[in-house]
Structures are given as C-alpha cells and as structure tokens.
A and B are shown apart, each in its own frame.
Chain A
Amino acid sequence: MSLPPRLPPTRRALLRLSRHRGATAAFAVLVLLTLACLVGPFLTGHAPERTYPDLRQLPPGFAAQPDADHLRPALDRLAFRIRAAVAQAEMADGVLRLVLASEAPIDARGLVYLPRSDLFGEPRIVARDDEGRRLTVAVPVRKLHFLLGTDVHGRDLLSRSLVAGRVSLLIGLTATLVALGVGIVYGAVAGFAGGAVDAAMMRVVDILYALPFVFFVIVLVVFFRASLVLILIAIGAVEWLDMARIVRAQTLALRRRDFVRAAEALGLSAATIMRRHIVPNTLGPVTVAATLLVPRVILLESFLSFLGLGVQEPATSWGVLIAEGARSLESAPHMLAGPAAFLVATLVALNRLGDGLADALDPRADA
C-alpha cells in the first residue's frame, strides 16, 4: 500500500492503522463494549443487584419470563401463603385467571402476596363462590426479559456482566496508567542519566524481574483485605518493569541524537529535555506496550477475582462472575458463557488492536 509522501509520522501511523482491518474492527468492538458497560445497565430494565427469587438460573433467551415452567411452582408457593390451593390457572392476553380453593373461607387480604412476588401485578377479584371458599381472581402477569438469563440469586446476568465490565475495564485502564507513569519516568531517568546510575537502576529492575510476582500480588491482596485501590496499586506496581525497559532502551538511543545534544548545548535542563524531547519520542513503542498491557492486567484481575482474592461482593467483575458460573456449571452453563464471552471479546479485541498498532508504528513498514 502506498501513502502520500511527507505526512508527519503520527498521521502516517494513524492512516496505516485505519487501513488495518483487524485493528479497526477491534477498536470498534472496544468502543461498543465500553459504551455498553457505561450506559447498558440503565437500559436492561433490571438493576444489577435486583433479585428475582422466583426466577433463579433462567437460561438466556428473548422469550418473556416467567414462562409456564416457572409460573406454576411460583403460583403454588404463593397460594400456600394465601392458605389456599390453585384449582385452576389460565393465561389469556397476559392476564392470569386464577381459581383458588380452600377448606375454609379465603381471606382476600392474602392476595397482597401476589404483587409482592415480582411476577404479578395488582389482582382483581372476579367472583366469590362457595361461601368464600372458592375465589376467582384476574391478575396481570409481568413480562420480564433476561437476554443472558439470571444467576443463582435470580439477578439479571446481562446487567451484572455490564456492571462487572465497568470494574474490569476500570482496573485495566488505571493499572496500566500507573504502570505507564512509573515505567516512563523510571526508564527515561535511567536512560538519560546513563553510567553508574543507569546500571544500578536497571539492576533493581533485574532483581524485580526474578520475583514471583503473582504470588506477591496475592500476598498483598489477601493480607491487606482486597480493595479496589489495592488491587490497582498491586497490579500497577508489578507491571511497570517492561515499560521501564522499553523506555530506557529508546532513551539511550535518543540520547546520542543531534537534536537532543543541541538542546543540551542550548542549556535546557535535564527535566525539560526529557519532557520535551525524550518522552514524546518514546510514545510509539510505549503505546503498543500499553495496549498489550491492558488485557494482561484485566486477565490478572479476573484471575485474582476467580480465586476469590480480588474484587469482593457486592462489587463484581468478570472474574467473579466467571467463578460463579464455573461453580454452577452443571446446572446452569449459561452463567459461565455470558461473562466469559464479554471477557474473551475484550481481550481478543485489545490484543488485536495492540498488534495492529505495532504494525502501524513499525518504522520499517513500507509506507
């Protein structure tokens, strides 16, 4: 592919990226996912923490709930509380014609249990026979939709997955930013200072590289009671090493370039040179590394949450939901499928975008 000559490098990279089909698709998926997680929970019609005790572990689907299978047991339970038995139940146009029968006259006040159960609206007494021992009631059935089904407590999995996505994406982004900040500063200082300082600073990085980090993060998170902030710090503190190495290597190369020496000759301070000339020039590879770091962080967080060491109830993340799904795999496999699909889609898209960026920013690519 040929690009018009003399475009500034950033524009060229963006142009190459926009022609990279996989990367643009991945970017679109990410934007959609993020938007869905941000506004989606308001549109599903179910608050994420709202439980429907009569509708537990529903399978996913477009059909309105409750269906016939779930209606009858719920009705029987309610009739028991009203101290009667269901003699007859017929559905017509979303209104249930219910005949309750009992040995003793039925107390109509018990009918308040019907609208309390999520499934029904206000009941209307149609007929009273047999000296009150037979009650005919018309009650509207609420139509509820659960696209991804419900979990063990009867919560809407779609809303929960979207809210969990907020946490996962937030951790992914913030921890990456922490790692980015620390890594850039550390790497730039080491590379710019050079000599003994550089050697000592890089020796520290080498030492840290040899640490069994995930074990460390687990110790940190478990012993200091898992909180969102702590997970962020722990992951960010672990993942800055690669960034520091990349930035240092770039800085070492830039350090010898004429424009940096010219800036030095002009008497600019080291901090100014780093801010104005070094760091902006390292942003290419750093962007690639950061894009590939986000999925790693999200994976690490869900790994911790899966083990029960990460995000704690009532907050939730994809790892938490996947762990719940894995526990009830036999009875309700959809509880794993929904959240796992969200997580995998996000990770695939981020990895694709990172690969596309790496190609687009590769200075050796034919322009």
Chain B
Amino acid sequence: MTGYVLRRLLQAVPTLFVVIAASFFLMRLAPGGPFDLERPLAPAAMDNLRRVYGLDQPLAVQFGRYLAALARGDLGPSFSFRDLTVADLFARGLPVSMILGGLALAVSLILGVGLGALAAYRRGGWLDRLVGAGASLGLSVPSFVVAPLLQIAFGLSLRWLPVSGWEGGAPTHLVLPVITLALPQAAGIARLTRAAMAEALRAQHVRTMRSLGLPPWRVARHALRGALLPVVAILGPLSAALLTGSVVIETIFGLPGIGRYFVEGALNRDYTLVMGTVVLVAVLVVALNLVADLVSAWLDPRLRLHA
C-alpha cells in the first residue's frame, strides 16, 4: 500500500515536469509581456522592471530559477497584483474555490448517485425517463446559461438569494454557485450510475439475493457497491471538471477564487500567477486521481492485485 502510493507519487513527477515546462515555454514564446501597458513605458523603466523580475536572463536560466524556487515552495511575486506574491493570492483564493468545489462535489455525488440508482431500480418507469431527460438536459445546458437564469429567477425576481458576491462565504451566497457548478456533473454521474446499477442488478449474486426474498433496500445496497466503481473511477476527471467549471462560475458570480485570478492573470500576462495556477491545478488533479484509485481498490478487491 505505502509502496504503491510512493510509486504513484514518483510517477507524478514527470507529469508535473511536463506541465510546468510546457506552460512555461508556451507563455514565454508568445508575443507580449506583463509590462505592456496601453501607454508604453520608457525603455529605461522597462529594462529596470525586466531586470528586477529576472526577465532579462536567457529563457533556460529563467526556467532553472523558477524550478529551483518552486522546489523551495516559492511561487514568486505576482506581476499584475502589486505587492502580492502568488502564494498570497492563493491563500485568499484557494479557500473560496475549495469550499465551492467541495460542496459542488458533495451535491453532485448525492444527487447523481441517488437519482441514477433510483432510475436503474425503476427501469423504464416514469422516474427513469424523468431522470434520463433531466440528465441529458443537464449535460447540454452550459453552466453559463444556467447561472444567469438562476440569478434572474432567485435573485432578481423572487429576491430569495443574492445575485453575486462572496461576503466571507455566507451560506446564502453559496447556494446558486454550488448548484450551477454541481448540475452538469450530477447529470453525468446520474447517467453513469444508472448504467452501472442496471448492470449490477443483473449480476448473479444480486439475482440470488432477490430470489432469496431479501428486502429491496438490502439488495440495492449490495448492488450499489458494485455500481459505485465507475463513479469512483471518474472522481479524478470529475474534480478536474469542477476546477475548470469554477473558472466560469467564479467569473459570473463574482467570487474571489483562484479561477478568477487565473483568467485575470492570463489576460494581464501575469506569468507567475498563471504558472502557479497551472501547477496547483495539476498537483490537485494528480492527487485526486491517486485518491480515486485508492478508493477503487478498497471497493473492489480484484483491483488490488494490479496495485
């Protein structure tokens, strides 16, 4: 177990290196720089700025310096947010994104697994068709359409919930963003669970239990264990999707999370901020993939053999 985790962490090193190298050189090869303002700076001032931030060095040197700093856990100063380091920005933004993503993950899992399992259990019934139609709609209506609709319905017409803002994470400010973020994922999970559950309900051991006359909820519990496997398997991509989705959600609802910093950073050519976000997200995705694999192995003994 420990050996497996260690090996997986070691395997993540080349992945992260590719991510860092690719985004670093992509950004630097692109035209334009962080100090291109509408009114160009005096050449001397520009040279000074470039020297202070080490941008006058050859690319390879800059890359080496960045890696060395990264190894010490230093993400560097932000170019566009004056007097702030990237770490400062993350310290502000990460909690916001984490709360948002964590809640959305929970909501989408509960909704998706619950509805998917119910649909599979009542296959062909009205509930099944309703869940199917809802899921296909949930997958097709983009969150940037859902969000304004929710804002207009619950914020402007009914005045039940605030339209946007964070306010230190007040629960009422969280409802709409979390729902918007969770909906498409819940739809995907519901479809996956329904298919897996239908398969699991046909399995020999479940049919035996049914024929022995066990109450439906106990049968369902056993079937669900098998049906959860594919859901757990997509936990990694799922959390990546939530991170991506939060870029739009944070922009629409005006939440100060890392997604919004990322978009602003990219538009301002804030090299360090963009790099930092990419590295952070890559680390998160790698870690979550590992967690997903560990949970799968725990759920399905057959997978442990390959570990």
Contact = CB atoms under 8 A, between A and B. Distances in A.
Interface in B75-118: none
B142 A210 contact: no
Interface in A272-321: 295, 299, 302-303, 306-307, 309, 319
Interface in B136-159: 136-137, 139-142, 144-145, 147-149, 151-152, 156
Contacts of B139: 347, 351
B277 interface: yes
B281 A212 contact: yes
Interface stretch (B13-21, B41-49, B168-176, B297-305): B13-21
Contacts of A326: 144, 147-148, 252
A343 interface: yes
B23 interface: yes
B152 A329 contact: yes
Interface string B21-36: 0110011001110000
B32 A322 contact: no
B248 A306 contact: yes
Interface residues of B, number: 46
Contacts of B282: 210-212
A211 B252 CA distance: 25
Given A307-B263, A323-B144, A210 B251 contact: no
Nearest to A341: B145
Contacts of A333: 152
A323 B251 CA distance: 11
Contacts of B30: 223-224
Given A214-B244, A348-B137, A219 B145 contact: no
Contacts of A213: 244
A347 B146 CA distance: 14
Interface residues of A, number: 39
A347 B140 contact: yes
Contacts of A224: 30-31
Interface in B255-295: 262-263, 266-267, 269, 274, 277-278, 281-282, 285-286, 289
A217 B271 CA distance: 15
B140 A306 contact: no
A160 B51 CA distance: 48
B127 interface: no
A246 interface: no
B12 interface: yes
B145 A344 contact: yes
A307 B240 contact: no
A222 B12 CA distance: 27
A218 B285 CA distance: 17
Nearest to A223: B30
B145 A329 contact: no
Given A303-B144, A326-B252, A210 B285 contact: yes
A295 B138 CA distance: 13
B266 A211 contact: no
Contacts of B148: 325-326, 329, 336
Given A212-B281, A215-B278, A343 B145 contact: yes
Contacts of A344: 137, 140-142, 145
B161 interface: no
Interface string B215-245: 0000000000000000000000000100110
Contact of A210 (B144, B243, B278, B286): B286
B269 A223 contact: yes
A223 B19 CA distance: 16
Contacts, number: 113
Tell me if B's interface is mostly helix, strand, loop or mixed.
helix
A336 to B, nearest CB: 6
B15 A351 contact: no
A310 B208 CA distance: 55
Given A212-B285, A214-B244, A348 B26 contact: no
A366 interface: no
B248 A303 contact: yes
B1 to A, nearest CB: 21
B285 A222 contact: no
A212 B278 contact: yes
Contacts of B247: 214, 218, 307
A166 interface: no
A62 interface: no
Contacts of B19: 210-212
A219 B278 contact: yes
A343 B14 contact: no
Contacts of A351: 136, 139-140
B262 A215 contact: yes
Given A218-B262, A343-B142, 5 more contacts: A207-B18, A210-B19, A216-B23, A344-B137, A344-B141
Interface of A: 207, 210-216, 218-220, 222-225, 295, 299, 302-303, 306-307, 309, 319, 322-323, 325-326, 329-330, 333, 336, 340, 343-344, 347-348, 351-352, 355
26 contacts: A210-B282, A211-B19, A211-B285, A212-B278, A212-B282, A215-B262, A215-B278, A216-B278, A219-B274, A295-B140, A299-B142, A303-B248, A306-B142, A307-B247, A307-B263, A309-B263, A325-B148, A326-B144, A326-B148, A336-B149, A340-B141, A343-B145, A344-B145, A347-B140, A351-B140, A355-B136
